[in-house]
Structure 1
């Protein structure tokens, strides 16, 4: 038995190429037909280089074996200097076979090589840590190696140790770069609506692994008008820093951003030119207090503005911060600067939306209050006017009373429209939909307006399918919607014209369409048609009395029902208003 499996590396890396050359040297110079090199990771070993026999290469390259199994077998080995030889006769009968066992018929004699023999050289670092293993199998002469062969193999083991250490360091660096790049990519790919805390939480693992850090926290400076700054750790918890250190960190970040550098702070090493001796001492004492050996201080910013800082920490005794790490960290500071700017923009936008909502709510309450206050005196005025109109009086006085009555009733209509506008715009007054037959609503509205339409000489046409057109809506609001559309059509259609009301079902929408042959609406006016109090710029339309609230009310009713309002019109050719509502069922 020989080659055992280990945890591995990228076979295409230069360091692994060096290990392969060492294995090939064993096969060419030391007189073995198979040689392998493995590297250690965690509690497993993987073969990363195989030289010699193709069958052995197929069976061993990339194979994994628990490190505990290998170490247990090495306990049975004879020590030949740096080499370990496990003779087959020392192996227990019930040993579980692992790895590759060559198909070999042993020679005669006590020094004959047996298929279950194992010869290897464990590779250790200067501190005694096991890095990997060099293994040999199938000696060319079929005999266990003598002293001279052992000396040659020991030399190769020494070379393999140095190459293994280099391979592990390169792999570690490559993994570190990969994780740091992954952290940068996470930050760069973060959705724009995420805040800086969410981005830090999403990238924390990759960030700390990539920089071999044990902790990370962010300090975000206060934005003008947006309250105090924020200090948050990678795990989302709040960081408690002394106030003096917070101010020192902010000043240092601004200086570091201006110089485009990152600073290293530890008791043994300091790269922070902006700090005074007292400030440096305070920071080092704080590191001792939180049991941190060193920190990497990364400024965060955009363009010429410093926005905060990122701090990455390592324990005492950990490797120093490399130039590559500092450069990658500065790039992340630029990426986080973009995140901070986005977060500020969204925070401002959120505040503006809240202010607009509050303003809209206030406007609604104001309209409702004023309308209520108008309703009571107007009701009294209209009532007393009716009494005066019933009494015989001077014609001049009667004309004045009639004028007052018209004005009072117009004010009453304005008050009614304002109250309805406030109601349909109130988010605290939700729709309670029920099935509403639109044909019944149209019939009721036309019955009420038949006299005024007939008196003006306007033909009214209703087109509807045989099946009922039923919408999910509030009947009272839909009745007001239809009333406004029909009255508008009649108001702006000259005598002899036509108003057509069509009903239909299109997919999951109940459609109500009101078409007239009236004045029409210009393209410019159509852009503002549903704004409150908007009146057309057409002089002919302005001559007609109105509050400018009818279509605003229609649009709000449709919107709060989850529907759509459409308009098609050309000057002098009439208009079509189309309302789409959710169909019942």
Structure 2
């Protein structure tokens, strides 16, 4: 008998305790020293219950014997009702010897039991299929059992058949629960934010435990955009050294298996030849031997009609064969992994898109900075020569033209300055270095420079601030630009007789600066685009005012890079409030 135990396998069979009781009944009641019950596992018989001394149990329990050996011997048996008896004298000299052979000497009697005698009862299911075998050996009296003993053994055989059916049903149910748990674990441990290379690491433990595998790897095909792993990753994230031709063979086999919705076992006995050439089969089997794998389960991974990859689970030589239940569960997991891979691919595409957008944003910033810088020098020369011309006595027409050129040049200079600042505050290579900034001091400095412009226009300026200082963590120069832009904007769109109010406050962990005007106001449609570069209001009255369309964009970017927020509240004809929230400085 070929006795094989798979290291790491769980040999406990649901219902084995009942089968053991039946075997023990045979030894006690009928008088046999050894009784055993085996269950069919694919094309082998596995001994799952043994009654007898510890030496016998150790020799038989968990052993596996090819059914072909057993059925060949049973062809020689005498039928005793449900029992089959094979006398030693009927055995040919060249018959393959299987199983455990007791070391006993026959008694001197015509019906003496010989060590090579065999007595068993095949256990059949409801449809007549072979479920297992009840075997007895070494009768206590040394004789072959008579009619009465045969009748009792037949009764035990009937009980053993029922118990075997129950045991197999319980085993199948337990296996389904185990595999279902493994599948749930896979989905739980492989969230969408993982890349496809990380899916294997997240699901490997559940797969190997659920399928009692000693190894696992996964191949994910390249996606339609030419991205993906295109390689094989193992449970520990190391690469399998699979020959390049076999990688292509595996991909071809996975696509065919996904189309046919099947899972294949690959071994010497099962080379899954339907889509493989003889050369393919030979190379695969040789490769399995080189990595000491007895058999592997080849599972296609996919979603909808698309095959996305394949999963391989391995068992060592001599391990328990893959069951039909395991194959069915593996195909379901191939579907689950397909959904995970699709999610992972979507995440990777989004990640690539974000990186591309970041690169584009950096390029745009550098382009803006370069163009603005190149504009500064010629504009400075133009403005300088215009100042010389303005000092000279010229005809009125020429003077008007020079003044128009001067206004245009200075406006271009402001645009260049704003573009340079916009590029700088949007450059991640120049992060903010914050320090405590008293916002009241900033407001005072800005109004000291711009207050006379507002007053000359007939606009009242009001400053409201609390008794305690409002100190934000910020870059002083950038916050000065924020306040300047907000106050300038408020004055630009507020008519004579209006009011601009600057208010400071501390709310929770935020320093708050508000700039409110009683000017034109902003429509809800315009508010949605207000902070975009070069956006100008659709209001004709607002369009009549000069501007670059960059002031509020600069405010928004500066506040955002300080970890703050910019808010706006406005109604047409009633004015606007711009509110800036910045992290407050913690004072000791």
Pair in the same fold by TM > 0.5: yes
- Aligned residue in 1 for 2:255: 254
- Aligned residue in 2 for 1:124: 57
Matches within 5 A, 1:105-504: 124=57, 127=60, 176-189=175-188, 190-227=190-227, 229-504=230-505
Distance 1:338 1:569, change over 3 A: same
Shift of 1:248: 1.1
What CA distance in whole angstroms lies between the structure 1 residues aligned with 2:313 and 2:387? 84
Distance 1:324 1:404, change over 3 A: same
Shift of 1:576: 0.4
The RMSD of aligned alpha carbons is 3.4
Instruction: Give deviations 1:388-433, integer Å, cap 9, x for gaps.
Output: 2222222222111111111111111111101110111111111111
What CA distance in whole angstroms lies between the structure 2 residues aligned with 1:301 and 1:489? 59
Question: 1:457, 1:497 within 8 Å by CA — same for their partners in 2?
Answer: yes
TM-score, normalised to structure 2, is: 0.73
Matches within 5 A, 1:75-114: none
What CA distance in whole angstroms lies between the structure 1 residues aligned with 2:287 and 2:573? 81
- Aligned residue in 2 for 1:34: none
What CA distance in whole angstroms lies between the structure 1 residues aligned with 2:548 and 2:402? 22
Shift of 1:317: 2.1
What CA distance in whole angstroms lies between the structure 2 residues aligned with 1:381 and 1:302? 65
Any stretches of 5+ residues in structure 1 without a counterpart? 1-6, 31-81, 85-120, 131-145
Distance 1:226 1:364, change over 3 A: same
What CA distance in whole angstroms lies between the structure 2 residues aligned with 1:288 and 1:83? 38
Distance 1:83 1:521, change over 3 A: closer
Instruction: Give deviations 1:497-539, integer Å, cap 9, x for gaps.
Output: 1111100000110000000111111111100000000001111
What CA distance in whole angstroms lies between the structure 2 residues aligned with 1:481 and 1:217? 56
Distance 1:274 1:448, change over 3 A: same
Question: 2:15, 2:170 within 8 Å by CA — same for their partners in 1?
Answer: no
Instruction: Give deviations 1:320-355, integer Å, cap 9, x for gaps.
Output: 221111100001110111111112111111111111
What CA distance in whole angstroms lies between the structure 1 residues aligned with 2:291 and 2:567? 65
**Higher deviation after alignment, 443-452 or 166-175:** 166-175
Shift of 1:129: 5.7
Question: 2:200, 2:233 within 8 Å by CA — same for their partners in 1?
Answer: no
What CA distance in whole angstroms lies between the structure 2 residues aligned with 1:26 and 1:314? 36
Matches within 5 A, 1:2-21: 16=17
Shift of 1:19: 6.4
Instruction: Give deviations 1:524-579, integer Å, cap 9, x for gaps.
Output: 11000000000011111111100000000000010011100000001111100000
Q: SS state of the match for residue 327, structure 2? A: helix
What CA distance in whole angstroms lies between the structure 2 residues aligned with 1:14 and 1:316? 27
Shift of 1:163: 9.8
- Aligned residue in 2 for 1:96: none
- Aligned residue in 2 for 1:43: none
- How many residue pairs match? The answer is 472
Question: 1:9, 1:171 within 8 Å by CA — same for their partners in 2?
Answer: no
Instruction: Give deviations 1:1-36, integer Å, cap 9, x for gaps.
Output: xxxxxx9989xx665567689999999x99xxxxxx
Shift of 1:279: 1.7
Any stretches of 5+ residues in structure 2 without a counterpart? 1-9, 31-50, 64-139, 142-147
Distance 1:167 1:123, change over 3 A: farther
What CA distance in whole angstroms lies between the structure 2 residues aligned with 1:445 and 1:526? 25
Q: SS state of the match for residue 124, structure 1? A: helix
Distance 1:289 1:165, change over 3 A: farther
Instruction: Give deviations 1:275-316, integer Å, cap 9, x for gaps.
Output: 122222221222222222222111110000011111112222
Distance 1:416 1:447, change over 3 A: same
What CA distance in whole angstroms lies between the structure 2 residues aligned with 1:459 and 1:20? 102
Distance 1:362 1:519, change over 3 A: same
What CA distance in whole angstroms lies between the structure 2 residues aligned with 1:282 and 1:24? 51
- Aligned residue in 2 for 1:67: none
- Aligned residue in 2 for 1:566: 567
Instruction: Give deviations 1:56-113, integer Å, cap 9, x for gaps.
Output: xxxxxxxxxxxxxxxxxxxxxxxxxx767xxxxxxxxxxxxxxxxxxxxxxxxxxxxx
What CA distance in whole angstroms lies between the structure 1 residues aligned with 2:295 and 2:353? 42
Confirm or deny that 1:525 pairs with 2:526: yes
Shift of 1:482: 0.4
**Higher deviation after alignment, 185-194 or 322-331:** 185-194
Q: SS state of the match for residue 536, structure 1? A: coil
Question: 2:195, 2:348 within 8 Å by CA — same for their partners in 1?
Answer: no
- Aligned residue in 2 for 1:87: none
Instruction: Give deviations 1:114-148, integer Å, cap 9, x for gaps.
Output: xxxxxxx9983772569xxxxxxxxxxxxxxx99x
Distance 1:428 1:83, change over 3 A: closer
Distance 1:123 1:457, change over 3 A: farther
Matches within 5 A, 1:4-83: 16=17
Distance 1:24 1:313, change over 3 A: closer
Distance 1:19 1:287, change over 3 A: closer
